[in-house]
Structures are given as C-alpha cells and as structure tokens.
C-alpha cells in the first residue's frame, strides 16, 4: 500500500558534531560525525591550526532545518 507524501513525518532538524579548537577555542563543525574514526584531525576555520581530536570530544548539536524557502 502506498504512503502519501503528506502522511510521512517531516524532518524538522538536522544534527552535526562540534569540536572546540585547542588553540583558540573556536567551534569546528563536523557534518559526518557518525562515520568518524576514534581519532581524527581537522583544521580550525579561525586560526587554521590542525589538531587531533578523539571521537568522544565531539558534542552533537541539533540545528533547525536548512531549507531557505518554504515548500508549497
């Protein structure tokens, strides 16, 4: 039996991971946090310092839906 589009629950938020830079404490967003290894390295967008972080240091944030225009 087919399910109508209007009957499906809408996704109202998306999740991302955030790590704080060790040098300048700026937040570093991580979008694919479920696929991370136990240790990973990322560049800080503010000071451009590369650091090695553990997966347990990632804080998960829930953000509103990213759609710019509402769908009709």
Residue pLDDT, tens place only, 37-51: 999 999 999 999 999
Q: Are 45 and 24 in contact (CB under 8 A)?
A: no
Q: Is the pLDDT of residue 71 over 70?
A: no
Measure Cα distances from 44 to 21, 50, 56, 59, 66 in Å: 6, 6, 18, 16, 23
Report yes or no on 18 lying in a domain. Answer: yes
What was the pLDDT predicted at 14?
Answer: 73
Report yes or no on 72 lying in a domain. Answer: no
Q: Is the pLDDT of residue 11 over 70?
A: no
* Structural domain total, the chain: 1
Report yes or no on 70 lying in a domain. Answer: no
Top pLDDT among 27 and 34 is at: 27
Range of the domain at 45: 12-64
What does the alpha-carbon distance between residue 43 and residue 51 come to, in Å, rounded to a whole number? 7
pLDDT band at 8 (very low <50, low <70, confident <90, very high): low
Top pLDDT among 41 and 4 is at: 41
């Amino acid at each position: 039996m087919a399910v109508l589009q209007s009957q499906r629950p809408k996704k109202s938020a998306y999740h991302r991971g955030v790590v704080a830079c060790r040098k300048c404490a700026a937040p570093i967003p991580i979008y694919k946090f479920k696929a991370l290894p136990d240790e990973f390295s990322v560049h800080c967008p503010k000071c451009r310092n590369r650091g090695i972080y553990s997966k347990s240091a990632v804080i998960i944030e829930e953000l509103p839906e990213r759609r710019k225009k509402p769908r009709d």
